[in-house]
Amino acid sequence: MMLTAGHALPTRAACGRRAVRINAVAAPEKSGVLNVNRNENFGKLRAGYLFPEIARRRKAHQEKNPDAKIISLGIGDTTEPLPKYIADAMAKAAAGLATREGYSGYGAEQGQGALREAVASTFYSGLRTADEIFISDGSKCDIARIQMMFGSKPTVAVQDPSYPVYVDTSVMMGMTGDHNGTGFDGIEYMVCNPDNAFFPDLSKVKRTDIIFFCSPNNPTGAAATRAQLTELVDFARRNGSILVYDAAYALYISNPDCPKTIYEIPGAEEVAIETCSFSKYAGFTGVRLGWTVVPKALKYADGSPVHNDWNRVMTTCFNGASNIVQAGGLACLQPEGLKEMHAMIKFYKENAAILKATFTEMGFKVYGGDDAPYIWVGFPGKPSWDVFAEILERCNIVTTPGSGFGPAGEGFVRASAFGSRENILEAVRRFKEAYGKQN
Ligand SMILES: Cc1ncc(COP(=O)(O)O)c(C=O)c1O
């Protein structure tokens, strides 16, 4: 048996002429072993979250090919520097914190009043009010907190394929069964593929308590039309379900027939929560700022407003977005900032158009890219992780395997339009060299 400091065997030791009793306990056989059970829901999660797995494979490829200049069209992370007017506003706020007049500590957990007002008037004019907008450190964090508000009992539907956070947080919360080799038991996967123009056949979708819906969709790049969203809202209303609508890419929409917020659909305010973000609008992926809209008209079965519970979640689990960052958000919504934000979106959309034209020219079936910064490329009959590996090997380009977004993503890869123009053009050159004209 091993003895450690403070863990001696009961013994008598001579100390001068007096015997001293030392009380001690035996050390565990192995140190560092807890007597706490793991949250069993975490055991259900698949090997890893998609993007860390891609990063692991990229690193392995780089180690094997130290000279390779890898281009990432993988994780949807922005690459262009922050626009000047917006960055200056944050620098000014940061400098102000070093002065007595400019200093502020904790702010309202719901966000600064001016920013809530600006978000309401810029994105939801006449549709939602400032007190229904909650400013946060980003949409991903809000999705996790929304799940915390729902607890473990509700049933969940997701678009298939979709942003993995909806499914993984549902698993973590205990809303699902085990993974059955294709998907998680208990999750209603709403297949979205070219056969249904990437909008689910709702007549075949089972009723669930919660429906996650992302438009424009990550990863397919498909934006739902007004008619489709009307169908979706009607479906949620008929079933008494809550729609969690992720509008993180709404400003990328060009098609005038595709609403930029779910609240353009009459009746949505009684069924829908909407989450959105500055990440892909202003390059705030590292800066961190988003918001979630919870209309006051949204009520649980017992008549209590969801707004109250969301306020409770935010005031308990969140301490407000950074004051510096909120100054940046406010700058985004001033005329100069809006101009910069739209210029940035235009730049990424041009990248998307270049990628889409290239794959189309090469003879691939390509989707998305018109209303979103993602291109969804079909490789029918090929496992998408194999396509991912092949593109990495042959082109030194990181894409995202479609199956990482859900079972219906098999046979596709996603290419992200976030990148410098130089990298996008170099990626296009490598794709053409490796794949030439198909058929
Ligand atoms: C659909 C969707 N929602 C939310 C997010 C996360 O946004 P945020 O950076 O605000 O956490 C992303 C990020 O890629 C996304 O694709």
Residue 75: per-residue pLDDT: 81
Q: Kindly state the percentage of the chain with pLDDT values over 90.
A: 88
Q: Where are the beta strands (DSSP E) in 254-331?
A: 272-277, 290-293
Co-location of 180 and 274 in the same domain? yes
Q: Which of 334, 355, 386 is the last residue of a domain?
A: 334
Cβ atoms of 3 and 25 within 8 Å: the answer is: no
At residue 6, the pLDDT reads 36
Place of tokens 């102000």: 96
Our mutation pick for probing the ligand 1 site, out of 77, 218, 249, 273, counting the most ligand atoms within 8 A of Cβ, is: 218
Predicted pLDDT of residue 29 = 61
Question: Could you tell me the distance, in angstroms and rounded to a whole number, from the CA of residue 196 to the centre of ligand 1?
Answer: 25
Say which residue the tokens 């200056």 belong to: 88
Average pLDDT, the chain: 93
Q: Give the Å distance between the CA of 140 and the centre of ligand 1.
A: 5
Ligand 1 centroid, distance to 14 Cα (angstroms)? 67
Does one domain contain both 201 and 108?
yes
Residue 48 pLDDT: 61
235 and 376 together in one domain: no
One domain for residues 267 and 405: no
φ/ψ region of 381 (left if φ > 0, alpha if ψ in -120 to 50, else beta) reads: left
pLDDT digit string, tens, across residues 76-96? 899 999 999 999 999 999 999
Amino acid type, 295? P
Indicate whether 296 and 352 sit together in one domain.
no
pLDDT at 355: 97
Residue at 364 is within a domain:
yes
Count how many domains the chain has. Answer: 2
Q: Quick one: pLDDT at residue 21?
A: 56
Which of 217, 277, 287, 293 to mutate for ligand 1's pocket (most ligand atoms within 8 Å of CB)? 277
Q: Which tens digits make up the pLDDT trace of 402-436?
A: 999 999 999 999 999 999 999 999 999 999 999 98
So what's the pLDDT on residue 76? 86
Q: What is the pLDDT of residues 2-42, one digit of tens each?
A: 333 334 333 434 344 455 555 555 555 666 788 999 999 99
Residue 221: per-residue pLDDT: 98
Nearest residue (by CA) to ligand 1, atom 6, is 140
The tokens of 54 are what?
């891609």
Among residues 334, 360, 386, which one ends one of the domains?
Answer: 334
User: Given a cut of 80, is residue 263 above it in pLDDT?
Assistant: yes
Which of 398, 325, 301, 414 minimizes the C-alpha distance to 86?
Answer: 325
Indicate the residue type of 172: M
Lowest mean pLDDT among 96-105, 132-141, 429-438: 429-438
Final residue belonging to a domain, choices 334, 355, 388: 334
Is the confidence at residue 169, as pLDDT, over 70? yes
Q: Which atom of ligand 1 is nearest to the CA of 142?
A: 11
Residues 223, 121 within the same domain:
yes
Q: Which of 262, 279, 325 to mutate to test the pocket of ligand 1 (most atoms within 8 A of CB)?
A: 279
Bridge-based pairing of strands 412-416 and 374-378 is: antiparallel
Rg (CA), the chain: 25
Asked if residue 5 belongs to a domain, the reply is: no
Q: In terms of residue numbers, what domain contains 220?
A: 84-334
CATH code where residue 378 lies? 3.90.1150.10
Q: pLDDT band for position 127 (50/70/90)?
A: very high
Predicted confidence band of residue 171 (pLDDT cuts 50, 70, 90): very high
- 228 within ligand 1 shell (Cβ under 6 A): no
Closest residue by CA, ligand 1 atom 7: 139
User: Are residue 341 and residue 329 in the same domain, yes or no?
Assistant: no
**Residue 20 within any structural domain of the chain:** no
- Cβ count near 256 (within 10 Å): 7
Each residue of 194-248: pLDDT tens digit?
Answer: 999 999 999 999 999 999 999 999 999 999 999 999 999 999 999 999 999 999 9
What integer is the mean pLDDT of 167-177?
A: 97
| E strand intervals along 130-184 | 133-136, 156-160
Same domain, 374 and 277: no
Report the residue count for the chain: 439
Terminal CA-CA length for the chain? 70
Residues 58 and 101 in one domain: no
CATH code, domain carrying 162: 3.40.640.10
Beta strands in 57-209 (DSSP E): 71-72, 133-136, 156-160, 187-191
Q: Could you give the C-alpha distances from 52 to 48, 49, 57, 318, 412, in angstroms and in order?
A: 7, 6, 9, 25, 19
The tokens 């649980």 sit on which residue? 300
SS3 content of the chain, % helix, strand, coil (to 5): 40, 15, 40
Both tokens assigned to 7: 């863990």
Q: Do 279 and 299 belong to one domain?
A: yes
Atom of ligand 1 nearest to the CA of 217: 1
Contact, 341 vs 251, CB < 8 A? yes
Question: In sequence order, what are the residues at sequence separation of 6 or more whose Cβ sits closer than 8 angstroms to the Cβ of residue 16?
Answer: none
Q: What SS3 class is residue 188? A: strand
Residues sharing a CB contact under 8 Å with residue 337, sequence separation 6 or more, in sequence order? 83, 85, 86, 89, 282, 331
Read off the pLDDT of each residue in 133-153 and give the average, rounded to a whole number.
98
Give the model's pLDDT for residue 275: 98
Share of the chain above pLDDT 70, in %: 92
Using the predicted structure, report yes or no on whether residue 328 has a pLDDT greater than 80.
yes
Residues 342 and 211 in one domain: no
Kindly provide the b/e burial profile for residues 401-420, where b requires at least 16 CB atoms within 10 angstroms of the residue's own CB: bbbbbbebbbbbbbbbbbbe
Q: Is the dihedral of CA 421, 425, 71, 403 positive or negative?
A: positive
Is position 23 within any domain?
no
Q: 298 and 356 in one domain?
A: no
pLDDT score of 32? 72
According to the model, what pLDDT value does residue 74 have? Answer: 84
For the residues 92-118, what does the mean pLDDT come to?
97
Distance (Å, whole) CA 402 – CA 414 = 6
